[in-house]
Structures are given as structure tokens and as C-alpha cells.
């Protein structure tokens, strides 16, 4: 009967001053006995009273903070194991993922009580790691029960008595250990008439030292303590006695997947900076890793080296597996919850691929052994078959059965002539049957070779089909891209044709005698004037739709273009712009019927020329009046200056 207590923290923190609360589920042979919410003090009391075989959790530091965790181990009964179900601190796996992989329904939003039950059930299934704080050794300390104070002759006699009693107890314990044939070392501190202290380091756990008990008397005390490890160790449960297939994906992060020879998943994990020696040490916990598998061809040196060290068969696929193939293999046999990253997926796919390649032969072994009622030899026969032995040779090596001919040739005491004839005929029949059996085995071997060739051919065909599908996919993508480019090309051609039509219209208007072509800018700014500078020729006509805002610099840039005339609202022009452009005809757009076409303007040439002529006449009159005014001002200033000189 196995009693397991699953624990998960419900509230609080092990580091806080207030006591944390825990969810606790007690299993007895897989059946739920109780579900409780406990404080830490009640939990510790329960650990002693429940006579537990295992305590299961998903994080042992939920029980005590790191600096006090070893104290917890001293409180545990010696037979109780502490199991962390979801891995080591360096490689912890989400509890709900681990539970799903082992057939326990649990979501990522499970309650604390549900997680406690999942921990207990996983530990019952031998999933997880046993956490050990002590070596498989014990310390036996024999010492005085109290210190020796000052005193006279009586005190000296008492001290000599105590030291002799310590020496006697050390001698008795030594005799018991020698009788038990246990290895130990002894260190003593000498004193008058005996020893003041003795310490044994015994190569045996304290729970097995049944003949020696801790005790304290009036003179001498004996303590039995475990030997502490330098750091906590995590030792995996289950699967160690199984032959396995191991898939490895090496790299900065190394993925390892382990399958049994029945195709069941033992474990999947990954770790950064996982060295060759660490990998070999880790895999050595299994009874035998019979196949090491990789997902690429050729095999990485890391994988080949591990296979050589463990003396296993190295499985290399005929070609490097694609991502789609690896995902398909994993999903077909397990699920996406089985792995956490691409490294674990690739390792698992390699192991599955290796298992599938040996599956038929391994099933044939089971069938053969069942017919011969030798199922107990399944593991050993499979191991030999994987290493290259035929099924029959493997069975012969393991059973070492004497040949049937030797049994048949033994003399039959008291047999009559009639029975002798029957025996001779049976011998002849046995020879015929053996001959037929040998022929059938040869035919079977030929068929197995043919089957292997066909499997290789199928793999090659699949590989060719995959390449074909990939090529067709690439062709479809290229065709789609070509169609998009053709559509863009059609659009560009249509734009070009439209532009050419507009250009022809402009060219026709430009050379028409009835219509004048006008260039247009939306605003009177220096930037707009500079923008049309390259396309503007001397004598072109410019229409400024909004003349406000133009200053002296914009007007000076426009004057450099030497337009024939400007068409704009002169009333909105600044004083500075008017002064700079006073010699250029500025026409009112309201007097001209201007039509805008694709960024250009057109108007009746005759009407435009009349307005330009009229504006030029006005400019000449204004310039003449300006000169006349200047002359009058000059003469007036001269007369005034002369008058002052005469006085």
C-alpha cells in the first residue's frame, strides 16, 4: 500500500512572516482519501502522523525558503520520499503540460487543490524526481551527556568514569558494525582512561541501522544523524529498468526524447549548454539505450559520439527530415502538448522515426516469443535483434536449448520393434519438418530484405513527391507574383496612354491660334515659383489662383522667369510684390474665361491679347506719371536748395 500526499501552495509565501496555506490531497493506492487546506504547522504535523511513502509537489521551495529547506528534510520521517514531479530546477516543465502528457486532465487555470491532486497522481505513476538532501551514509556520534565542571578528587573520578563509558560505547558500536559487515570510518578524541568523543561515518542510511539506536543516558549520549549532501540532488523515478530509444537534437540548446521499445513516451526535455559528458551521464540511468537517433543526415558528431560511448545502434534517416514531416510524426503519435520547443520536437521526431523503422521487426519478436511461450525473454531478444542478430539466433543464445536430435537419439528402454519403427518414422518426419523450417526461414529472410528495399523505395518516392509538391507550390507562388506584376503593368500602360492623350491635348492647345495655354500655380509663394522654374519658358503666361502671401523674394524669383503676363487678383497682392512686378502686365481673371484642364489653363487668345495690350498701355501711363512726378519733385527740391543759397 502506497500513501502519497500531493501539496500545492494556496496562499501566502514561504518567505513571509504570516503562515502560508496549502492544498493537500492524500492518495492511497491511487484513490483519493482526503482533500484539505492546511497551514504549514498543521502540514508538518500531518507529515509525521500520516505514515507517508511520498510527498509530491511542483516546487519544493513552496514548502520552505531556500536557506531553510534542509531543515525540512530533518523533519521528514526517514522512509518518506520528497518528489518534485515537474523536473529539476534547471529544467522545470509546466504542470498542466506534464499532466496532459500522462493522461491527467488539467488546464493552465486549474485550482490549487486540482494541482495538488495532479502532483499526487503523477508521483503515483512514478513521474518526477526524488529530491535528496542526504547521502546514503550516517553519522554516529558518541559523546559525554554533559560537560565536566570543576571539582576535587570526586570530580576527577567521575570524569574518568564517563570517559571509560564513552570508550565502552564506541567499542560496542564498532562490534555491531563489524558484525553487520558495513564499511565505516572512525575518528576519536582521546582522554584520560578512555575517549571524550567518537564519530563513525557509516556507509548505510540511518533507517537501516536497526541495531543501533539514538539515546541519552546520565553519562553518555549516542546520536545518529544523516550525512548532508553539499547540494540537493534530483534523481528521476521510473523508466530506469527499461530499454529505450533516444532521439537527440544537439546545439546550444540540446533536446532529448526517450521512447520505450513499445513506443511509449518516457520523457522529453531540453537544456542549454548540455555537454557530452552530461548527456552520457544522464542517459546511463536507463537499463540500456539500444538506439540513438538523429533527424539529420549525416549524423552530428555529438550524436555519433554518444552512440559510440553507450555502444548503441545509431539510427540515421535516409535524408534530413523536413519541419512538416517532423510535426506530422509527432502529431500522429502524440500531441502538440508533448513538447515545449523546436529542439524537443526534433528529438522526439527522430526517436519516433527510429521506432517506426524497427516497429515491424520488434512486433515479429513478440509474436515469435508468444508462440514459444518465452515472453520473459522479450527485452533481451529485442536488444540482440536490434544489434544485428536474427530472431532465431537470439532466442537460441538466450535459452541454450539442447537440439531436439540429441533428445530423440536417447535409447528407449524396453521399446518393442513396433515402437522402434514408429520412432524411426517420427525421426524422419522431424528431419523433413526441420528442412522445411530452414527453407521457410530463408524465404522469410529474402522477403524481409525485399520489404526493406520496398520501404526504402517508398521513402525515396515520398521524398520525390515532397520535392514535387514543394516545386509546384513555388511555381504557384511565382505564377501569382507574375499575375500581380502583369496587373501593375496594365495599370501603368493605361496611365501612360492617358498621359499621352493629355500631352497631345496640351501640345495642340499650345500651337493653336485661337486658344492660349496658361500655366497654373495654386499659391503665390517662393516654393511654388521655384517648382515650375524648370518647365517655365520666357514669355509663358502664368495664372496664380491665390495671390495673397507673396512677398518680395517670391516676386523677385517670378520676375526672373520673365513671364509675358500674370493672371491673378491684383487686389490681394502685397505692396512689395506689386512694386517688384510693376512692369509686368497683371490681368484680372474675372475678365478672362479661363478653363482648367489637367493642371493647365486655357482662354481665348484674342481676348487675352487685348487685355495684355490694355494693361501695357496702363503700365506706360503709370510709368510716365511716375517719371513726371519724380521730375517735379526733383525740380522743387532744386529750387528750394537755390533759394536757401541766395539768402
**Cβ atoms of 142 and 168 closer than 8 Å:** no
SS3 94: coil
Q: What is the DSSP string of 561-596?
A: H--SEEES-GGGS-HHHHHHTTTS-EE-GGGS--EE
Mean pLDDT score, 59-86:
82
Spatial distance between the Cα atoms of 622 and 578, rounded to a whole number of angstroms = 13
Residue with grid cell 497551514, as numbered in its chain: 39
- How far does CA 647 lie from the centroid of its chain? 110
Determine contact, residues 196/170, Cβ cutoff 8 Å: no
Which of 159-163, 344-348, 515-519 has the largest mean confidence? 344-348
- Distance between CA 527 and CA 304 in Å, rounded? 73
Lowest mean per-residue pLDDT among 217-221, 360-364, 623-627: 623-627
- Label residue 241 by pLDDT band (50, 70, 90): low
CA–CA separation, 582 vs 586, rounded Å?
Answer: 8
What's the pLDDT score for residue 284?
A: 67
On the question of pLDDT at 354 being above 90, the answer is yes
What does DSSP assign to residue 643?
H
Instruction: Categorize the per-residue pLDDT at 423 as very low, low, confident or very high, splitting at 50, 70 and 90.
Output: low
Grid cell 543759397 is found at 645
pLDDT for 488 equals 92
Q: What is the pLDDT of residue 320?
A: 92
Q: What is the rounded distance in angstroms from the CA atom of residue 430 to the CA atom of residue 407?
A: 12
Query: Is the C-alpha dihedral spanning 392, 260, 232, 48 positive or negative?
Result: negative
Q: What is the pLDDT of residue 414?
A: 41
> Would you state the pLDDT for residue 300?
92
Highest mean pLDDT among 354-358, 508-512, 621-625, 643-647: 354-358
Average pLDDT over residues 32-60: 87
- Helices 276-283/301-309 angle, 10° precision: 40
Q: pLDDT band at residue 624, thresholds of 50, 70 and 90?
A: confident
pLDDT tens, residue by residue, 588-612? 888 888 888 777 888 888 888 888 8
| Segment among 11-25, 382-396, 413-427, 627-641 with least mean pLDDT | 413-427
31 phi/psi in degrees, rounded to 5: -105, 140
Residue 126's pLDDT is 79
Task: Give the strand pairing for 515-523 and 541-546.
Answer: parallel
Is the per-residue pLDDT at 425 higher than 60?
no
Kindly list the distances between the CA atom of residue 269 and the CA atoms of 108, 287, 385, in Å, as whole numbers in the listed order: 19, 19, 28
Confidence grade of residue 406 (pLDDT, cut at 50, 70, 90): very low
| 159: Cβ contacts below 8 Å, ≥ 6 apart | 148, 191, 192
pLDDT digits (tens, 9 = 90+) for 105-136: 888 888 999 999 999 988 887 788 888 888 88
Q: State how far the Cα of 294 lies from the Cα of 273, in Å rounded to an integer.
A: 18
More confident residue, 128 or 433: 128
Contact between 166 and 195 (Cβ < 8 Å): yes
Compute how many other C-beta atoms are within 10 angstroms of the C-beta atom of residue 509: 17
Quick check: 402 pLDDT over 70? no
Q: How far apart are CA 460 and CA 21, in angstroms?
A: 61
Averaged confidence pLDDT in the chain = 82
Evaluate if residue 419 carries a pLDDT over 60.
no
Give the pLDDT score at 457.
86
Mean pLDDT, range 566-590, rounded to an integer: 87
pLDDT band, very low/low/confident/very high, at 438 (cuts 50, 70, 90) = confident
What was the pLDDT predicted at 119?
92
CA 271 to chain centre: 10
Please compute the mean of the pLDDT values over residues 561-566 and round it to a whole number: 89
pLDDT of 314: 92
pLDDT at 445 over 50: yes
Residue 295 has pLDDT above 90, yes or no: yes
DSSP 451-519: HHHHHHHHHHHHHHHHHHHHHHHHHHHHHHHHHHHHHHHHHHHHHHHHHHHHHHHHHHHHT-SSEEEEE
- What's the pLDDT at 409? 45
Q: Would you say residue 434 has pLDDT above 80?
A: no
- What's the burial of 312, exposed, middle or buried (CB within 10 Å: 0-12/13-18/19+)? buried
Name the band, by pLDDT with cuts 50, 70 and 90, for residue 250: very high
CA 645 to chain centre: 106
| Cell numbers at 45, concatenated | 504535523
> Per-residue pLDDT for 355 more than 90?
yes
Model pLDDT for residues 487-506, shown as the tens digit of each residue: 999 999 988 887 777 667 66
Q: How far apart are the first and last CA of the chain?
A: 144
Residue 516 has pLDDT above 80, yes or no: yes
In angstroms, rounded to a whole number, what is the distance separating the alpha carbons of residues 196 and 145? Answer: 10
Amino acid at each position: 500500500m502506497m500513501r502519497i500526499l500531493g501539496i500545492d501552495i494556496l496562499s501566502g509565501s514561504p518567505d513571509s512572516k504570516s503562515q502560508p496555506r496549502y492544498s493537500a490531497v492524500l492518495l492511497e493506492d491511487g484513490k483519493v482519501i482526503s482533500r484539505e487546506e492546511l497551514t504549514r504547522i498543521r502540514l508538518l504535523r500531518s507529515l509525521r502522523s500520516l505514515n507517508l511513502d511520498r510527498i509530491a509537489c511542483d516546487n519544493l521551495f513552496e514548502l520552505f525558503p531556500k536557506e531553510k529547506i534542509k531543515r525540512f528534510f530533518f523533519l521528514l520521517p526517514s522512509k518518506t520520499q520528497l518528489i518534485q514531479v515537474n523536473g529539476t530546477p534547471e529544467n522545470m516543465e509546466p504542470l498542466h503540460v506534464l499532466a496532459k502528457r500522462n493522461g491527467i486532465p488539467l488546464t493552465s487555470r486549474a485550482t490549487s487543490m486540482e494541482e495538488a491532486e495532479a502532483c499526487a497522481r503523477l508521483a503515483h505513476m512514478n513521474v518526477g524526481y526524488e529530491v535528496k538532501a542526504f547521502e546514503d551514509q550516517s553519522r554516529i556520534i558518541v559523546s559525554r551527556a554533559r560537560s565536566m565542571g570543576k571539582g576535587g578528587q570526586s570530580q576527577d573520578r567521575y570524569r574518568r568514569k564517563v570517559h571509560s563509558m564513552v570508550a565502552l560505547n564506541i567499542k560496542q558500536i564498532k562490534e555491531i558494525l563489524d558484525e553487520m559487515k558495513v564499511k565505516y570510518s572512525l575518528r576519536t578524541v582521546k582522554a584520560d582512561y578512555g575517549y571524550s568523543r567518537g564519530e563513525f561515518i557509516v556507509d548505510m542510511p540511518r533507517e537501516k541501522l536497526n541495531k543501533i539506536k539514538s539515546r541519552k543516558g546520565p553519562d553518555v549520549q549516542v546520536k545518529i544523524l544523516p550525512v548532508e549532501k553539499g547540494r540537493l540532488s534530483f534523481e528521476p523515478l521510473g523508466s530506469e529498468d527499461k530499454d529505450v530509444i533516444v532521439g537527440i537534437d544537439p546545439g546550444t540548446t540540446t533536446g532529448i526524447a526517450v521512447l520505450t521499445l513499445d513506443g511509449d513516451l518516457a520523457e522529453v526535455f531540453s537544456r542549454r549548454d548540455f555537454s557530452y559528458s552530461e548527456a552520457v551521464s544522464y542517459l546511463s540511468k536507463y537499463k540500456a539505450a539500444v538506439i540513438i537517433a538523429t533527424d539529420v543526415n549525416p549524423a552530428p558528431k555529438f550524436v555519433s559520439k554518444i552512440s559510440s560511448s553507450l555502444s548503441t545502434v545509431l539510427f540515421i534517416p535516409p535524408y534530413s527530415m523536413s519541419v512538416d514531416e517532423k510535426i506530422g510524426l509527432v502529431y500522429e503519435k502524440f500531441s502538440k502538448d508533448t513538447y515545449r520547443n523546436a529542439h524537443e520536437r526534433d528529438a522526439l521526431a527522430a526517436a519516433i522515426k527510429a521506432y517506426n523503422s524497427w516497429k515491424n521487426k520488434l512486433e515479429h519478436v513478440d509474436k515469435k516469443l508468444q508462440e514459444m511461450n518465452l515472453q520473459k525473454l522479450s527485452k533481451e531478444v529485442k536488444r540482440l535483434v536490434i544489434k544485428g542478430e536474427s530472431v532465431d539466433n537470439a532466442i537460441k543464445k538466450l535459452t541454450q536449448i539442447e537440439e531436439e536430435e540429441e533428445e530423440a537419439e536417447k535409447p528407449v528402454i524396453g521399446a518393442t520393434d513396433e515402437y522402434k519403427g514408429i520412432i524411426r518414422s517420427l525421426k524422419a518426419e522431424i528431419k523433413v519438418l526441420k528442412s522445411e523450417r530452414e527453407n521457410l526461414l530463408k524465404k522469410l529472410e529474402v522477403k524481409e530484405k525485399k520489404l526493406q528495399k520496398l520501404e526504402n523505395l517508398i521513402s525515396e518516392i515520398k521524398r520525390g513527391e515532397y520535392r514535387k509538391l514543394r516545386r509546384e507550390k513555388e511555381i504557384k507562388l511565382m505564377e501569382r507574383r507574375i499575375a500581380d506584376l502583369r496587373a501593375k503593368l496594365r495599370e501603368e500602360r493605361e496611365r501612360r496612354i492617358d498621359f499621352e492623350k493629355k500631352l497631345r491635348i496640351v501640345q495642340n492647345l499650345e500651337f493653336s491660334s485661337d486658344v492660349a495655354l496658361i500655366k497654373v500655380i495654386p499659391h503665390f509663394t517662393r516654393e511654388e515659383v521655384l517648382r515650375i522654374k524648370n518647365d517655365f519658358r520666357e514669355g509663358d503666361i502664368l495664372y496664380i489662383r491665390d495671390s495673397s502671401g507673396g512677398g518680395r523674394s517670391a516676386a523677385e524669383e517670378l520676375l526672373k522667369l520673365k513671364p509675358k503676363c500674370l493672371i491673378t487678383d491684383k487686389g490681394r497682392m502685397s505692396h512689395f510684390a506689386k512694386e517688384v512686378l510693376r512692369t509686368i502686365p497683371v490681368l484680372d481673371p474675372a475678365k478672362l474665361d479661363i478653363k482648367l484642364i489637367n493642371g493647365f489653363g486655357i482662354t481665348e487668345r484674342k481676348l487675352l491679347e487685348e487685355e495684355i495690350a490694355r494693361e501695357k498701355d496702363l503700365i506706360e501711363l503709370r510709368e510716365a506719371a511716375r517719371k513726371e512726378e519724380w521730375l517735379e519733385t526733383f525740380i522743387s527740391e532744386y529750387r528750394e536748395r537755390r533759394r536757401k543759397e541766395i539768402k
